[in-house]
Amino acid sequence: MRQYIIKRVIISFIVLIGVSIMLYAITRMMPSDFVELSTANNLKITEEQKEHLRELYGLNTGIIEGYFLWLGKVIKGDLGVSLYYKRPVAELIKSYAPITFTVAFIALILELLVAIPLGIIAATNQYSKKDYLIVMFAFMGISLPIFFFAVILKRIFGPFGLNILPVAGMLNARATYTGFSFAKLMDYARQLIMPITCFVITSVGGLLRYTRTNMLEVLNSDYVRTARAKGLPERKVIGKHAFKNTLIPIVTLVGGMLPGLFSGAAITEGLFSIEGLGNMALTASYQADVPYLMGFNMFLAVMTLIGTLLSDILYAAVDPRIRYS
C-alpha cells in the first residue's frame, strides 16, 4: 500500500506539471488584458504607460517564457501576487477558503443525508409512487437554474414573504460581536440557511440518482437474492447486505468531491453576497488576473489529485476484494 501511494504521489507531480502547462496556456490565451481592463477608466493613461505596466506585471512575455518564470517562482513556494487584489495568492486562498469550505462541506453532509436514504427508498420501491416522487424531486433539483431557485427562496423566506430569513450576506451587520460567540455562530447559521439550501437542492439530484442506480444493481445481485432466499427479513437484507455494498461507489464518489469543497460555486456565492473562492475566481476571470487564476486552479488541481488518491485508498478500505501493490 505504501509503495502504491508513493508511486501515485510521484505520478501526481508529473500530472501536475502537465496540468500547469495547460492551465497557463489557457489562462494567457483569454481574450482580455488586465492592463487594458484596469486602466479602462483612467483618462490620463498613455500607451507608453500601459507598456510599462505590462512589463511590471510580467505580462509582456510570451506564453512559454511566462510559464517558466511562473514555474520558477512556484517551485520556490511563491504563487505570486494577484494583479487585481494586489495580495499574495497563497494568502488570498488561505483567507477565503474557510468560508467556501464551510458552506460546501455542510451542504455536502446534508446532500448525503438526503440523497442516500431517498435513493435507497426509491430503489427498494422501484416504479412505485414513492419512487416516481423521489425521482421527480431529483430531476427538479437538477433542472432548476440556481439563480432562479435563489430568487424563489428569497421571495418565500425574505421580507416580502414569511420574513424569517435574511436575503443575503454572511452576518447581520447591525449586530456587533466581540470574538467568537454562540450568538455569532447562530447568526452565521441563519444567514447561510438559504445558500446552503440552494446548494443542496440543486446538487442532491445527481447523488440521489447515483445511489438509486447502485442500489438497484445491488438488489439484483446474487448475494441479495441468497439473503432473501435464506428468509432474512427485508430490513436486514437492505440494511446489512445491500446498503453496505451500495456505499462502495458512493465513498469513492465523495472522495472525488474534495476539490468541489474549495472551488465554491461562483454563481451561488455571488447571489448571496458571500465572498468565497468561487466568487473571487469569477471576478479574477473577468479581470484577466493571471496569477490568481493560476494559483487558484493549481490549488484545485492538487485537491483533485489528492481527492482521486483518497478515493482509491478508500476503495481499498471499504472493499476487501481490492488490494494495491
Question: Contact 304/258 with Cβ under 8 angstroms?
Answer: yes
Based on CB atoms, which residue is closest to other proteins, 62 or 231? Answer: 62
Q: Which residues contact 193 (CB under 8 A, 6 or more apart)?
A: 157, 165
Residues that bind other proteins (CB under 8 A): 25, 28-29, 31-33, 36-53, 55-57, 60, 62-64, 81, 84-87, 99, 151, 154, 158-160, 163, 166-174, 176, 270-271, 273-275, 283, 286-288
For the bound state, the minimum distance from the C-beta of residue 162 to other proteins, rounded and expressed in Å, comes to 12
CA–CA distance, 114 with 204 (Å, rounded to integer):
7
For the bound state, the minimum distance from the C-beta of residue 16 to other proteins, rounded and expressed in Å, comes to 22
Cell numbers representing residue 170 in the block:
454572511
Question: Contact 315/322 with Cβ under 8 angstroms?
Answer: yes
Based on CB atoms, which residue is closest to other proteins, 13 or 180? Answer: 180
For the bound state, the minimum distance from the C-beta of residue 76 to other proteins, rounded and expressed in Å, comes to 16
Based on CB atoms, which residue is closest to other proteins, 57 or 315? Answer: 57
Handedness of CA 108, 112, 114, 118 (dihedral sign): positive
For the bound state, the minimum distance from the C-beta of residue 174 to other proteins, rounded and expressed in Å, comes to 6
Based on CB atoms, which residue is closest to other proteins, 177 or 223? Answer: 177
Over its C-alpha atoms, the chain yields an Rg (Å, rounded) of 24
For the bound state, the minimum distance from the C-beta of residue 90 to other proteins, rounded and expressed in Å, comes to 14
Based on CB atoms, which residue is closest to other proteins, 237 or 271? Answer: 271
For the bound state, the minimum distance from the C-beta of residue 247 to other proteins, rounded and expressed in Å, comes to 36
Based on CB atoms, which residue is closest to other proteins, 146 or 318? Answer: 146
Based on CB atoms, which residue is closest to other proteins, 53 or 290? Answer: 53
For the bound state, the minimum distance from the C-beta of residue 196 to other proteins, rounded and expressed in Å, comes to 16
Based on CB atoms, which residue is closest to other proteins, 215 or 271? Answer: 271
For the bound state, the minimum distance from the C-beta of residue 293 to other proteins, rounded and expressed in Å, comes to 13
Based on CB atoms, which residue is closest to other proteins, 152 or 317? Answer: 152
